[in-house]
Structure 1
Amino acid sequence: MFATPTLRHPENDKLCLYFNEFFQGYSVMQVDDGPLIENYLASALSTLQYCVEQQHLTFVVRFDLRFPAAMPRLSMHDNNEVLTRFFRHLRYELDRAGTKYTTKLRYIWAREQETSDKPHYHVMLLLNKNAVDRIGNKQPDEFGCYTRENLYHRASRSWLKAMGFDGDDPRFGQLVNVSRHPDTGNYWSAVIHRDDYFTMDDAMYMASYLCKAYTKPFGQGVRVFDTSRN
């Protein structure tokens, strides 16, 4: 006889574990280290669908936000206020970009921690493609700073400021990492048309990685997954 897999998360019985490769008709990423969390999959899909309904074209990209390796464990690592500050700074950056079209800052995020003394964040941004349609050059300028007016440099400045550093501080290298697609190994971003099932399917596949149960630090008493509200 085969053991029936546990359907509730052992550390939070309000969360349901999910073992299938499709969720409500969309592909999801089952990783080797364990199942996904169904509640988070539902929230991620709802957020993606809402964004696609609200705007004709949606630019989607996933970043990893990491703290400097040499940084000691600080009080900022005990809660998610640093992530709140990151979104506030990034919203300011997008507002001051002065593009012809505006964009709301919509997102999905997860807090994770495995062997490090500090957590890290995975963030999927969902933006109006008419305002933002590419990541841009990821390399710093000739002084090692992130001063360019593209999405990657704006996100890098926002993350540095969220941690309390200057936005052009050159000491730390790249702390914002663009996610790669597991099937191609290429840096991943996409533009979703509201009638484009296949790109939506790929975006849900990439979002589902944020929904994995493994490495979620439930014992820290802080939220480990959330989405924007509108």
Structure 2
Amino acid sequence: MGSNKKKLINTFQGMRVQTDCGELDEKYLIKIDETIKLALNAYPRTSAMRVDLRYPKDYTVVENNHISKFIASFKAIIRADLKKKKRGKSTPRFIWVKEQDSSNHPHYHIVVFLNGNVYSHLGYFTAKEGNTAARIRQAWASALGVHIIDIDGAVYFTDNATYTLNKADSNYKAQYDDLFYRLSYFAKKATKRYGNGGKNFGSSRK
């Protein structure tokens, strides 16, 4: 007789993954690995910034493309910042997952990859302008069509939110493994809604 026991993934290509969040989706782990490599191929020193995007209290969700709007807005904000300050190049790349447990609205876990020689820190999380944290908040406000003050509490920067990967560092492999371990959480199957016609996971392709 066949077994219905879930196959739990303990490692991926020799790297540790999170095992306390239930079953992981291997195809998501593959995409996570591919996107990290994509970012590093463009910028050998890459900053990866983790953030959670939620909906403000009493916000009415009438569409499901807010994450696409956020990405487009953030890219435009970065282009404008680079042009204004003549700071070099930095094409943002992303991995995101949409989750929903018992709340009325979904929320998003996202990591933003940037050129680490240009953007190395988020800055003060509550800033309205002038740093990367503010640019992320501005992009989410734009995606929702609200003022930035209306999303206070809706953008959450996690502990140890910024990772720096540098191919020239002697501990580069450890940097990579640490980030992959952190992002393996994105591959968990729990709290994702399947079969509703919406995407639960997205990543940059170029």
Task: Please give the TM-score of this superposition, normalised by the length of structure 1.
Answer: 0.81
Q: Which amino acid aligns with 2:91?
A: K
Higher relative contact order (CA 8 A, sep 6+): 2
Give a deviation string over 1:76-123, Cα, whole Å, max 9, x none.
2xx2x1111101111111111134221111111101000011111111
Sort the Cα spacing of 1:116 and 1:204 in 2 relative to 1 into closer, same or farther, 3 A: same
Aligned residues: 198
Across the aligned residues of Structure 1 and Structure 2, the Cα RMSD in angstroms comes to 1.6
Structure 2: runs of 5+ lacking an equivalent: none
Deviations 1:113-157 (A, max 9, x none): 0001111111111111112110111124xxxxx2x2111101001
Residue 194 of structure 1 pairs with residue 175 of structure 2 = no
Partner of residue 209, structure 1: 185
Q: Deviations over 1:50-92 (max 9, x none)?
A: 22122120001111000012223x322xx2x111110111111
Runs of 4+ aligned structure 1 residues displaced above 6 Å come to none
The residue aligned with 1:115 is 102
- Percent identity, aligned pairs only, is 26
The DSSP-based 3-state class of the residue aligned with 1:59 is strand
1:4 shift after superposition: 5.4
Conserved in 2, the CA contact under 8 Å of 1:90 and 1:158? yes
Confirm or deny: 8 A CA contact 1:97 1:149 kept in the other structure. Answer: no
Residue 29 (structure 1) aligns with: 18
Question: 1:31-50 counterparts in 2 under 5 A?
Answer: 31-32=20-21, 34-50=22-38
Give runs of aligned pairs for residues 67-216 of structure 1, distance below 5 A. Answer: 67-72=55-60, 74-76=61-63, 79=64, 81-98=65-82, 99=85, 100-140=87-127, 146=128, 148-166=129-147, 168=148, 170-180=149-159, 187-194=160-167, 196-216=172-192
- Counterpart secondary structure, 2:28: helix
| SS of match in other structure, 1:124 | strand
Do 1:138 and 1:152's aligned partners in 2 also have CA atoms closer than 8 Å? yes
Between the aligned partners of 2:195 and 2:94, the Cα distance in structure 1 is 24
Partners of 2:126 and 2:133 within 8 A in 1:
no
Unaligned runs of 5+ in 1: 8-18, 141-145, 181-186
**Structure with greater helix percent:** 2
Could you tell me which amino acid in structure 2 is paired with residue 59 of structure 1? S
Compute the displacement of 1:171 (Å): 3.3
- 1:53–1:194: 8 Å Cα contact kept in structure 2? no
Partner residue, 1:225: 201
Is residue 6 from structure 1 mapped to residue 6 from structure 2 by the alignment? yes
State the Cα distance separating 1:6 from its structure 2 match: 3.1
- Mapped partners of 2:114, 2:151: distance in 1: 27
